[in-house]
Structure 1
Amino acid sequence: MERELPTGFVDFAVSTGFLAANHWSKASIESFQRSWEEILVQKNNGQAVMLPIFSLLYRMNIEDDAFLVHENFEGASRLRSVHDQSIRILELYPQISEGTNTPKEPARRPVQIGLGLTSSYKHKNINRLSVKLDEHTVAKPKAYRHILYTAGWSVRGAFDEEY
């Protein structure tokens, strides 16, 4: 029962059980057709297309639900549930899981300055007290941060279970 992926989106939609795919809005069909063409290009490049197809399937179900609400379509618009549609796609087109997924970005190399020289700069942490002050530099006053007692609060009773 294995078949090649159809070139048209509507043929794919009908083969997966969407009976009313021909009646969806023209803009939706064109959008789905563009997505379908991208999937076909990925497949021709040897990439796995199972995830993009299932993403498209999800969008198709949303479109079909909206179509049913707005158009008062008589009868069933699709034959299967989403789970059954997924199984049907894998039965009809088992080759969609074949292919390789390419990494998004190449591995990073060490930074090199022109002519292949590597940087020798090492970042050093500078202690605030080691900075020399001159007539142009003014140190910010160091805030007193130690609090022994906060007004309105007492330790008495804070850690007892009786209160």
Structure 2
Amino acid sequence: MVGENGASWSDKLDDALWAFRTAYKTPIGCTPYKLVYDKACHLPVELEHKAYWALKHANFDLKTAGDHRKLQLNELSELRDQAYENSLIYTEKTKKLHDSKIKNRIFNVGDQVLLFNSRLKIFSGKLKSRWSGPFTITEVYPYGTAKLSHADGSKDN
């Protein structure tokens, strides 16, 4: 949406923020707008304030309206607590899924391995492999750390 030179980014900032605030977030189970204002994003806050001002000048019962607003604020804190619990549950499920895909490998001295270069993704060439090696394991440390040596005998960590 921003031009090629990127100079008009500030013109689109309000729209981008509105899109972020009103988009449903799965980890928390609601939109950020609902967490802040405890309602769907149909009316901007300024209109809600004007509606309360109109109630006041139309001689409606302000005590009833105030009590209703206090109840809404209590519901909002419950909604925030629930969103926090949802985010913890989502994080735990994501961690379990990630951990289930990790294979526990046991390496021994003398094993030959390939080394995966995770930094190559940023500046990778189309045909360049992200694997290098083979390397020979010379020492094994706790928690899966190993000392490697090249085929010519030079060390690599």
Q: Normalising by the residue count of structure 1, what TM-score does the alignment of the two structures yield?
A: 0.28
Between the two structures, name the one with larger relative contact order (CA 8 Å, sep ≥ 6): 1
Instruction: Give 1 or 2 for the bigger CA radius of gyration.
Output: 1
Whichever structure has more helix as a proportion of its residues is 2
Higher strand share: 2
TM-score (norm 2): 0.29
